[in-house]
Amino acid sequence: MASSTAQIGVTGLAVMGRNLARNLARHGYAVAVHNRTAARTHALVDEFGHEGTFVLASTLRDLVDALERPRRVVLMVQAGAPTDAVIDELSPLLEPGDMIVDGGNAHFADTRRREEALRPSGVHFVGVGISGGEEGALHGPSIMPGGSAEAYESLGPILETIAANADDGSPCCAHLGSDGAGHLVKMVHNGIEYADMQLIAESYDLLRRGSGLSPAEIADVFRTWNTGRLDSYLIEITAEVLAHVDGDTGKPFVDVVLDQAEQKGTGRWTVQTALDLGVPVNGIAEAVFARSVSGHADLRAAGRSLAGPEAFDASSGTVAPDDVEAALYASKIVSYAQGFHQIAAAAQEYGWSTDLGSVASLWRAGCIIRAGFLDRIRGAYAENPALSTLLANPTFAAEMGEAQGAWRRVVATGVTRGVPTPGFSAALAYYDSLRADRLPAALVQGQRDYFGAHTYGRVDREGTFHTLWADDRREVTS
């Protein structure tokens, strides 16, 4: 039986778990490691044992016995039932004050359920969102922990040490609130990621089909954009993907890839949760639906004979890259605004003390949606923590105003050319909905009252009203 010498344990040594354990060891922590397949544990130590101190554990009991108190056990196992199974086996081995840390892509509602179930035992359950993929896990991810303040006091310094650092040197890790707050923020991160990727893909499609540029030429456009306000990880890698040539055919890589995008479900979770909270995230939703449409091969095959405008003809004019850049920037800001609105609504619903400025701060490095303008978003919430929408910040509002002419031209060009732009269009519709003096929801309320007596409010006096539509349209106060 191992002596209690390790400061933290990791069970589940697939790529993410292995790299997270290596990251911890590289930063001087003694790490107890366990995997149900013992060969994987031995392989980690044999190959990377020189990077730090690893303590091999053959069983979960050995893992627990190897840890100093309070014990910190990180689960890097498959979300869902496998996570529950490990918790059920592990929790009886722990004592009050110990911590089970779920670093997987769990649904935040599962994290809330697990934390509530373990709370009477005194064992802390900490849901931690980790973004950055396998490279981030090794070199420094963006870390989004929830859980109790007491647990973070013990666990937080370790997580902050292994997290990515922003340009100002601060760690991309912060306590985001109790129970499921961390996994909710990670879920919304992924929803924004869906929207960001869709908007970038639409930009590529418009430049190629609306300007006749080749993938290599569009790669150069993206490289230029990455030196300006669109500076971000996703813009950077997009240029690399577009510039890549397939070794077998000599064709642009993007032309030999099947145009059916897959998804693991976190985007859907974001939209489903937004519906439950009553928060409009139509830009994120359209990105999820766009992936869904791409995957319905039979549906698309059936629609290919539908009429549409003529194919691209340079003589009829081209889409200006500068216009697309402005539309992309404005639409990206809308996606982030919707995501932050959802996080704020969830924090209010579940009683979390989530600071939106901290969320922006910990997304500045390590994660997939890291971008230059996140520091400005952090500053916007630091200046006004009660900001109802990012679009109301004077600086961002001014930029949106400057971009909206190009944005409208891009959406109109997509419509007239038959190039689908669900992300751009949804973001613009959201922007226009927020700035409208009145929305046609007034008519919807009238319809609801007519067929269902659902009542309505009035602009000229307080109260709730119903019109007796079958009785000479007489109005009564409810």
Q: 408: which residues sit within 8 A by CB, 6+ positions away?
A: 428
Structure tokens that stand for 144 in this block: 């989004």
Among the listed residues 80, 121, 117, the one whose alpha carbon sits nearest the alpha carbon of residue 102: 80
SS3 for 224? Answer: helix
186 an active-site residue?
yes
Residue 105 · residue 264 · CB < 8 Å: yes
Q: What Rg, from alpha-carbon coordinates, does the chain have?
A: 25
Q: Where are the beta strands (DSSP E) in 57-191?
A: 72-75, 99-102, 124-131, 142-145
Among the listed residues 102, 120, 136, the one whose alpha carbon sits nearest the alpha carbon of residue 19: 136
Task: Give CA–CA dist 448/456, Å, rounded.
Answer: 9
Residue 32 · residue 55 · CB < 8 Å: yes
Q: 54: which residues sit within 8 A by CB, 6+ positions away?
A: 21, 25, 30, 31, 32, 33, 44, 45, 48
Q: Which of 95, 134, 135, 186 is catalytic?
A: 186
Task: Give CA–CA dist 262/394, Å, rounded.
Answer: 38
Task: Give CA–CA dist 312/310, Å, rounded.
Answer: 7
193 an active-site residue?
yes
Q: Which of 47, 150, 160, 193 is catalytic?
A: 193
Residue 438 · residue 446 · CB < 8 Å: no
Exposed, middle or buried by CB within 10 Å (0-12, 13-18, 19+), for 247? exposed
Task: Give CA–CA dist 180/183, Å, rounded.
Answer: 5
Structure tokens that stand for 85 in this block: 């199974």
Task: Give CA–CA dist 62/34, Å, rounded.
Answer: 9
Q: How many residues does the chain have?
A: 478
Catalytic residue set: 186, 193
